[in-house]
Amino acid sequence: MASADVFVTTEWLAERLDAPDIVVVDGSWYLPAHGRDPHAEYAERRIPGALRFDIDAVKDTSSELPHMLPRPEAFAAAVGAMGIGDGMRIVVYDGLGLFSAPRVRWTFKTFGAKDVVILEGGFPKWQAEDRPIEHGPPRSRAARSFTARLDHSAVADAGDVARALSEGTAQVVDARPGDRFRGEAPEPRAGVRSGHMPGALNLPATSIVQDGRLKSPEALAAAFAEAGLDLDRPLITSCGSGVTAAILSTALETIGKPARALYDGSWSEWGASDRPLATGPANKA
């Protein structure tokens, strides 16, 4: 898998901003600790023509879990109303450089979009290069038809993860910070226990991102190996709520070792249930 299939540069996008078959999507989403409002930031400044995609709005509204994937027909209706249709190239960015954009890209691809890429360096790089910024009310696009077909194989549920761990059919890698994984720090969501799934391994997403970009392929492969992961065996990515897990999935894709699936419910689901829990460092044996 070439990096060009996953990322585009700011130079590339700047030359094609007015192309009718390209749609730019602001997929910014922040943790409470970031102290930032993605809606206010989008309203104030954005890449010209960018649409706002909110993972907390386009979600399964029947689930109490955060930003779970919606049903295909709901996703199709939501993005079609935004002006995103079949056959368009979708370029996703976020306000941290590389944080929530991978989750948005994974969502579109899981629903069948063929051509979805991430803006390398995101909005911070775009701004640092003094590229065009749009202010005021966003432009509207005519509604389009988007055909959504959910790729069930790309999405793991709690049962899939439990079987993978008990039967050894796949490795589970958790993107949360080490102190949360080890159970040394509380979870940010009420009612969610501290710790990790017995048998899961830990690779914090922050450890493979530098200056809003993924580290080099060599550094990525080394980081996965150091975490105890065998890149020749199937992997399921997880995190707190399915956002930073997508950073790991993106990293795996760029080095030609795509993840089998992403655990959509992640620790928000597992940690709030009565499923087995472990604390302390991961057992890499």
Residues forming CATH 3.40.250.10 domain(s) in the chain: 3-150, 153-270
Question: In the predicted model, is pLDDT for residue 34 greater than 70?
Answer: yes
DSSP one-letter code for 278: B
The confidence score (pLDDT) of residue 270 equals: 98
Percent of the chain at pLDDT > 90 equals 96
Q: Would you say residue 285 has pLDDT above 70?
A: no
Closest CA to 239 of 266, 264, 204: 266
pLDDT band at 283 (very low <50, low <70, confident <90, very high): confident
Q: Which CATH class for the 153-270 domain?
A: alpha beta
Q: pLDDT higher for 139 or 226? A: 226
78-104 pLDDT, tens digit each: 999 999 999 999 999 999 999 999 999
Give the H/E segment covering residue 166: helix 158-167
pLDDT average, residue stretch 108-115: 97
What pLDDT is stored for residue 264 in this prediction? 98
C-alpha span between 99 and 119 (Å, rounded): 12
Average model confidence (pLDDT) across the chain = 96
Q: What single string gives the DSSP state of each residue in 51-111? A: EE--TTTSS-TT-SSTT----HHHHHHHHHHHT--TT-EEEEE-TTSSSSHHHHHHHHHHT
CATH of domain 3-150: 3.40.250.10
Identified catalytic residue from 239, 248, 252, 282? 239
What confidence score (pLDDT) does residue 3 get? 61
Residue 172: name the closest of 180, 182, 162, 186 by CA: 162
Q: SS3 of 240, please? A: coil
Separation between Cα atoms, residue 17 and residue 63, nearest integer Å:
37
pLDDT of residue 1: 40
Q: Report which residue type is found at 151.
A: D
Judged by DSSP in three states, 41 sits in helix
Q: Are 50 and 26 in contact (CB under 8 A)?
A: yes
| Spatial distance between the Cα atoms of 265 and 59, rounded to a whole number of angstroms | 12
Is residue 282 helix, strand or coil? Answer: coil
As a three-state string, the secondary structure of 195-223 is CECCCCEECCHHHHEECCEECCHHHHHHH
Told to judge if 5 belongs to the known catalytic residues of this protein, a careful annotator would answer: no
Angle between helices 217-226 and 245-254 (to 10 degrees): 120
Mean pLDDT (whole number) for 111-131? 98
Q: Quick check: 110 pLDDT over 80? A: yes
Q: In terms of Cα–Cα distance, which of 251, 63, 227, 252 is closest to 158?
A: 63
pLDDT of residue 4: 59
Taking a C-beta distance cutoff of 8 angstroms, is the pair 205, 239 a contact? yes
For residue 263, the cross-strand partners are 156
What Rg, from alpha-carbon coordinates, does the chain have?
18
More confident residue, 111 or 2: 111
Tell me the per-residue pLDDT of 37-82, one tens digit each, with 9 for 90 and over: 999 999 999 999 999 999 999 999 999 999 999 999 999 999 999 9
